[in-house]
Structure 1
Amino acid sequence: MRLGLNLRGDLAKFSDEDLDYQLEKCLEYREWLASRAGDAANRWLYKLGVAMPFGRGFLHTRICYKVMGRLYGGPLSGSSLGDLYVVDCEIKDIMDELKQRVNAAQRKRFRK
């Protein structure tokens, strides 16, 4: 179970198909960002988790991710380490929403 306050009500409003599309789009963008070699020296720190010691933080919302990405990874220029952090947080939020929906469907099925 994740720690933090979920302020991502926007994801709950998406249909399953829209959520799937958002996840695919984020994964493609993340793959493109991860392949960039511009700041390769810092990327290994990011992969180890040293560069982002607090993970997603306590508040799970896009604006907090952007602030933390700017603080940790530099300017959000569209191809920076901060952008990679923001996309990773977005992917984790979408995955959390999907897990929540699966768990709710299983609970509903077991009650019948």
Structure 2
Amino acid sequence: METCDPVGTPMEIKYKLDLDQHGSPVDATKYRSMIGTLMYLTSSRPDIVYATCLCARYQANPTEKHLKEDSGFELTGFSDADYARCKDTFKSTSGGAQFLGKS
């Protein structure tokens, strides 16, 4: 680990999220879908693991506080597919990139 590059976390380490039993509930299915999408991205984006796992704690009863706590992040994805582009094998080539916030 000594040769690894440090990566910042897009969320404060001292988190503000808690159970929030008195908040107004939101659609749990939508919240779980958002968390699932972010969990998929954690394989290629280790900098969002902490924030994603912190938000995943509240999937059972999400409230507006959980949904909007860090709403300043915008997830943007790009993909490109070029069908049968390789001149030698005529196989498709594709690529993609996801950006969270300004990163």
Task: Give the TM-score of the pair, scaled to structure 2.
Answer: 0.32
Structure (1 or 2) with the greater strand fraction: 2
Work out which of the two has the higher radius of gyration on C-alpha atoms and give 1 or 2: 2
Task: Give the TM-score of the pair, scaled to structure 1.
Answer: 0.30
| Bigger RCO (CA 8 Å, 6+ sep) | 1
